């Protein structure tokens, strides 16, 4: 019997086919739970973000002559509404970054994300809380 798993992004430890929810909106997880109690199905969980390694990314970019967009902690902070040392928060910029980060990579454009989107636990002890907090927003 295949039972659905519900979890918050902040509590996940890897992708195991679970339905993930933001702890900023716990009511969404609760709605899913109520749907299950009523015998409804939730459908398929969202596909996990696929992050490939640096060498594989570079090989792909060189082979396809792709453009590359790199998102790091600074861009994530800007999308989250925070300034960074060399850039004040700007709502229009934040919205554009959110649009771009939501694009699916293809041969023309590769959207690069930190490995934290697949395994935040391989980072240093100071980076783990940062990515744990930020994963919940996206």
Q: What is the pLDDT of residue 96?
A: 92
Q: Which residue has the tokens 């900023």?
A: 24
Give the tens place of pLDDT for each residue, 81-118. Answer: 888 888 898 999 999 998 898 888 999 999 998 766 55
Cα–Cα nearest to 14, from 120, 94, 114, 110: 120
Query: Any idea where the domains of the chain sit in the sequence?
Result: 1-48, 54-135
Q: What is the pTM of this model?
A: 0.57
Are 35 and 43 spatial neighbours (Cβ–Cβ below 8 Å)?
no
């Amino acid at each position: 019997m295949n039972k659905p798993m519900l979890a918050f992004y902040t509590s996940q430890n890897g992708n195991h086919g679970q339905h993930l929810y933001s702890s900023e909106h716990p009511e969404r997880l609760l709605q899913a739970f109520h749907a299950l109690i009523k015998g409804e199905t939730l459908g398929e969980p969202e596909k996990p973000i696929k992050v490939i390694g640096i060498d594989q990314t570079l090989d792909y970019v060189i082979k396809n002559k792709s453009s590359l967009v790199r998102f790091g902690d600074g861009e994530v902070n800007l999308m989250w509404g925070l300034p960074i040392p060399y850039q004040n928060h700007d709502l229009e910029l934040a919205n554009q970054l959110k649009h771009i980060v939501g694009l699916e990579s293809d041969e023309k454009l590769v959207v690069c994300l930190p490995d934290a989107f697949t395994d935040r636990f391989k980072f240093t002890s100071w980076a783990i809380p940062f990515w744990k907090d930020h994963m919940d927003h996206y």
